[in-house]
């Protein structure tokens, strides 16, 4: 990873201040930036002046930040509507409040908080609107929170808000050995009485069984021949033609929830056609057939716009589950922030478990 420095670049709108007052008002932090959308040599550690928190914001001194497969997809430019380089990756963070901006109530300095942010987790500190900050329950380690917050938050929302799965429900979870897939298994087990089928490699079959799911080896089996027709929901991060196949298994009133298109990037090869096929053939076209089966693409940020209260409710629910030791990834690897490039490389390895960066 290239290490360079952009120290001293003033924040927009501060050009008229004298340089000394900028130094006093801001703090120097290291952040990991994306430099390009290439497959290699795409991250740089930079020192940046973080300005004072603005109105309604607080500065969080970051203790841990999660790394997820979505970070890699976003950096490679395969998720429409996401930031282009240079930006600081990192969908989530946990840390301590260090500075509180004007009019920012509800948090105090020294308090440990967690937040989902669209960008910015890969750094030593970040200014975050206080309405995004949730208190971390006492006694919960920052790494445990960072390892769970994003994956369990999105799985929780899809299971409870989107598909409204209850006892007696039948669901199909693709990539059930992965970060989000495994979260679905644990959260479905907490509902109780949910019948779960999960796709994964054969080596992960026992893991799925141990968590109450019927395993399907996606490398050798056709899941549409294993899962009985008439399920309530399918949760699919694979994309492309996979969406349509998952949809074919639904009962009337059931829902296929696409939430990623991992097949757009396999190894280092991008195939944007897969994304178009998934979106048009798997999401748009099925909506035109009036057979009572639903299909949708879940997006955490869009759901938040439609249901503004959902973010705090659902993140609080996940933090509560983590505090009670009821959920958490099967394995966690902690790396220093400066090794973000190694974390990205690990994302490409099968069975990588959850990766967490600590500044
Ligand atoms: N929509 C949103 O708002 C939102 C927000 C955040 C993240 N996301 C998305 O969530 C996804 C994150 O996935 P993740 O972190 O769970 O990934 P992950 O931990 O890398 O796991 C992916 C899993 O998929 C399995 N897999 C690979 N190919 C498969 C196939 N053809 N069929 C079925 N399973 C297959 C692998 O199983 P084996 O190892 O057993 O082979 C692996 O365990 C990304 O697509 C990201 O974009 C969406």
300: CA distance to ligand 1 center in Å? Answer: 16
Q: Are residues 300 and 157 in the same domain?
A: yes
Closest residue CA from atom 12 of ligand 1? 69
One DSSP character per residue, 285-319 reads: HHHHS-SS-EEEE--HHHHHHH-TTHHHHHHHHHH
Neighbours of 9 (CB within 10 A): 11
46: CA distance to ligand 1 center in Å? Answer: 30
Could you identify the atom of ligand 1 that is nearest to the CA of residue 303? Answer: 3
Q: Which domain holds residue 115?
A: 19-148+319-358
Q: What residues does ligand 1 touch, defined as CB less than 6 Å away?
A: 68-70, 73, 150, 154, 174-175, 177-181, 199-201, 204, 218, 237-238, 259-260, 262, 298-300, 350-351
In a domain, 312, yes or no: no
Could you identify the atom of ligand 1 that is nearest to the CA of residue 302? Answer: 3
Q: Are residues 201 and 327 in the same domain?
A: no
The whole-model pTM stands at 0.93
In sequence order, what are the residues at sequence separation of 6 or more whose Cβ sits closer than 8 angstroms to the Cβ of residue 298?
154, 157, 158, 162, 257, 258, 259
187: CA distance to ligand 1 center in Å? Answer: 17
The distance of Cα 290 from the centroid of its chain, to the nearest Å, equals 32
In a domain, 142, yes or no: yes
In a domain, 37, yes or no: yes
Q: Are residues 115 and 250 in the same domain?
A: no
Q: Are residues 203 and 338 in the same domain?
A: no
Q: Are residues 160 and 103 in the same domain?
A: no
217 is written with which tokens? 């080896």
180: CA distance to ligand 1 center in Å? Answer: 7
Question: Which position has the token pair 């294993």?
Answer: 226
The CATH number given to whatever domain includes residue 207 is: 3.40.50.720
In a domain, 310, yes or no: no
Distances in whole angstroms, Cα of residue 295 to Cα of each of 259, 316, 358? 11, 28, 38
Q: For the stretch 30-39, what's the b/e string if a residue is b when 16 or more beta carbons lie within 10 angstroms of its beta carbon? A: bbbbbbbeeb
**Residue where a domain terminates, one of 304, 328, 344:** 304
Per-residue pLDDT tens digits of the chain, which is 359 residues long: 545 443 333 333 333 434 444 445 789 999 999 999 999 999 999 999 999 999 999 999 999 999 999 999 999 999 988 999 999 999 999 999 999 999 999 999 999 999 999 999 999 999 999 999 999 999 999 999 999 999 999 999 999 999 999 999 999 999 999 999 999 999 999 999 999 999 999 999 999 999 999 999 999 999 999 999 999 999 999 999 999 999 999 999 999 999 999 999 988 889 999 999 999 999 999 999 999 999 999 999 999 999 999 999 999 999 999 999 999 999 999 999 999 999 999 998 888 899 999 99
Q: Are residues 104 and 196 in the same domain?
A: no
Could you identify the atom of ligand 1 that is nearest to the CA of residue 74? Answer: 47
Identify the H or E element spanning 127: strand 125-129
Cα distance between residue 258 and residue 282, in whole Å: 9
Query: Could you tell me which residues are beta bridge partners of residue 355?
Result: 67, 333
In a domain, 11, yes or no: no
Cα distance between residue 294 and residue 252, in whole Å: 8
254 is written with which tokens? 């059931």
Q: Are residues 344 and 220 in the same domain?
A: no
**Residue where a domain terminates, one of 304, 327, 343:** 304
Q: Are residues 140 and 25 in the same domain?
A: yes
Closest residue CA from atom 33 of ligand 1? 175
283, 284, 288, 290 alpha-carbon torsion, rounded to 10°: 20
């Amino acid at each position: 990873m290239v290490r360079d420095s952009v120290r001293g670049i003033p924040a927009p709108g501060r050009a008229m201040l004298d340089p000394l007052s900028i130094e006093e008002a801001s703090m120097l932090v290291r952040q990991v930036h994306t430099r390009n959308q290439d497959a290699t040599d795409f991250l740089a550690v930079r020192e940046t002046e973080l300005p004072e928190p603005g109105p309604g914001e607080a500065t969080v001194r970051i203790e841990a930040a999660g790394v997820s497969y979505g970070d890699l997809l976003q950096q490679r430019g395969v998720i429409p509507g996401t930031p282009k380089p240079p930006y600081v990756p990192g969908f989530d963070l946990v840390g301590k409040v260090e500075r509180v901006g004007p009019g920012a109530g509800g948090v105090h300095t020294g308090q440990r908080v967690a937040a989902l942010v669209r960008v910015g987790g890969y750094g030593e500190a970040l200014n975050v609107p206080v309405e995004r900050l949730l208190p971390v329950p006492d006694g919960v380690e920052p790494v445990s929170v960072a390892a769970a917050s994003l994956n369990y938050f999105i799985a929780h929302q899809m299971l409870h808000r989107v598909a409204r799965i209850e006892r007696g429900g039948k669901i199909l979870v693709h990539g059930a050995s992965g970060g989000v897939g495994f979260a679905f298994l644990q959260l479905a087990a907490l509902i109780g009485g949910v019948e779960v089928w999960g796709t994964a490699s054969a080596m992960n079959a026992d893991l799925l069984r141990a968590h109450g799911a019927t395993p399907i080896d996606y490398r050798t089996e056709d899941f549409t021949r294993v899962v009985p027709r008439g399920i309530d929901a399918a949760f699919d991060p694979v994309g492309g033609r996979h969406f349509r196949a998952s949809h074919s298994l639904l009962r009337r009133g059931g829902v296929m929830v696409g939430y990623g298109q991992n097949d757009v990037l396999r190894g280092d090869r991008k195939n944007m056609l897969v994304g178009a096929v998934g979106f048009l053939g798997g999401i748009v076209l099925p909506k035109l057939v009036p057979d009572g089966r639903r299909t949708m693409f879940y997006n955490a940020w869009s759901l938040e716009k439609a249901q503004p209260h959902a973010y705090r409710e659902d993140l609080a629910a996940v933090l509560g589950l983590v505090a009670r030791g009821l959920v958490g990834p099967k394995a966690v690897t902690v790396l220093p922030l400066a090794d973000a490039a190694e974390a990205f490389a690990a994302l490409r390895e099968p069975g990588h478990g959850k990766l967490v960066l600590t500044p």
